[in-house]
Amino acid sequence: MDTLARTPASPSAVASSADPLATSFATSYAGVVAFLAVVSEGSFARAGDRLGIGRSAVSRNVQKLEAQLGARLFVRTTRSTSLTREGETFFQNCSPGMDRITQAIEDMHELRSGPPRGHLRVRAATGFGRRVIAPMLGAFHARYPDISLDFQLDDRPADFTSDRVDVAFRDGRMEDSQVIARQLIPMQLITCASPDYERAHGLPATLDELAAHRCVMHRGTNGRITEWEFKVAGRPLTLAPSSRQTFNDADLVLQSVLAGHGIAQLAAYQACEPLRDGRLVACLGRYAPADRGHYVCYLSRKQLPSRIRVFIDEVTERTRALDIALPFPL
């Protein structure tokens, strides 16, 4: 059997095969699921991996759907697969409801099929994702070779529905009640400079003294300068010091500070190693905020697909084992 009728969710499992209407609906259902999977994954082969069926089965289901609709939905070449104009119209009309059905079928199949498998789409904040999460992926693939991974670095909050993200890593404070957020580790923000800068300009002892210093700032994906965060008398305070240099990449901010160009507020995962080996010195430790974290986030579900569950467990264990926390005050 080469269609999605293998799963309990298929209408053909509950409808009589002798009923022409039920047979037509079951064929359409399998074709629509296959069609949406091809659109999502960009190829028939990856769609087959996502649905747990062969590439040829996906192709046959789509062909049956095209025959029922009397329209060609894809333009296929040896190198690419793209929607026709009719295919684009059909996708816009049917995708919202079928997305949820496809996910439900995938989840149930994975939950009962033994070893974790399937496709996993993960998004992480650029700095934390590059320095902390990405180095763990090789070991994860070695342990779970049947899970394919699409890992994206993006500082914008992930929209789990429209972006089709399975797991996201977020920094800061979590106020989104629509997702489950598990704190991996606290997020420490450390104000620091190089020893060369300290010898030439000194370091601020109070927040008021920051105005007299050369500050290196980070520009977020929203185009705004990222304010520095502090805690004064138990209350949060944000400041945006005048900048000598501004970068839209956290690693470039770190490089500038290491080169002695100014002071910056860095996350502990960036600063811990150069602080320990003396390439950086910290200041204003008594004002460091203590209410932020690095979180792994996923949609609220009573039963997670195994591919998501094992990834979350693996990354949580490995991240908490890292030595990227520093004592305060510094």
254 pLDDT tier (thresholds 50, 70, 90): very high
Least confident of 14-18, 231-235, 311-315: 14-18
Whether 68 has a pLDDT exceeding 70, the answer reads yes
Domains of the chain: 23-98 (1.10.10.10), 115-185+292-321 (3.40.190.10), 189-287 (3.40.190.290)
Percent of the chain having pLDDT more than 90?
Answer: 41
**Strand partners for 282:** 192
- Per-residue exposure over 54-63, b if at least 16 CB sit within 10 Å of its own CB, e if not: eeebbbbbbe
Six token digits for residue 183:
């704190």
Rounded distance between C-alpha atoms, residue 252 and residue 149, angstroms: 27
Of residues 26 and 275, more confidence is placed in: 275
Backbone angles phi, psi at 43, to 5 degrees: -160, 160
**Mean predicted lDDT score pLDDT of the chain:** 83
pLDDT average, residue stretch 86-90: 90
Alpha-carbon torsion (102, 104, 108, 113), positive or negative: positive
Which is it for the CA torsion 314, 318, 321, 326, positive or negative?
negative
Q: CA-to-CA distance for 99 and 152, rounded, in angstroms? A: 21
Residue 40 has pLDDT above 60, yes or no: yes
pLDDT in tens, 90-142: 888 876 776 676 677 766 665 555 678 888 999 998 889 999 999 999 999 99
Residue 144 pLDDT: 92
- Report the DSSP beta bridge partners of residue 148: 119
In this predicted structure, the answer to whether residue 313 has a pLDDT above a threshold of 70 is: yes
Instruction: Decide which of 39 and 100 is more confident.
Output: 39
pLDDT at residue 220 above 60? yes
The per-residue pLDDT for 29 is 80
- pLDDT value for 107: 64
Using pLDDT thresholds of 50, 70 and 90, give the confidence band for residue 11: very low
Instruction: For the chain, report the end-to-end CA distance as a whole number of angstroms.
Output: 65
Structure tokens at 120: 């996993």
pTM listed for this prediction: 0.61
Q: What is the mean pLDDT of residues 265-280?
A: 92
Q: DSSP characters for 220-256? A: -TTSSBPPEEEEETTEEEEE-PPEEEEESSHHHHHHH
Phi and psi of 293, rounded to 5°? -155, 165
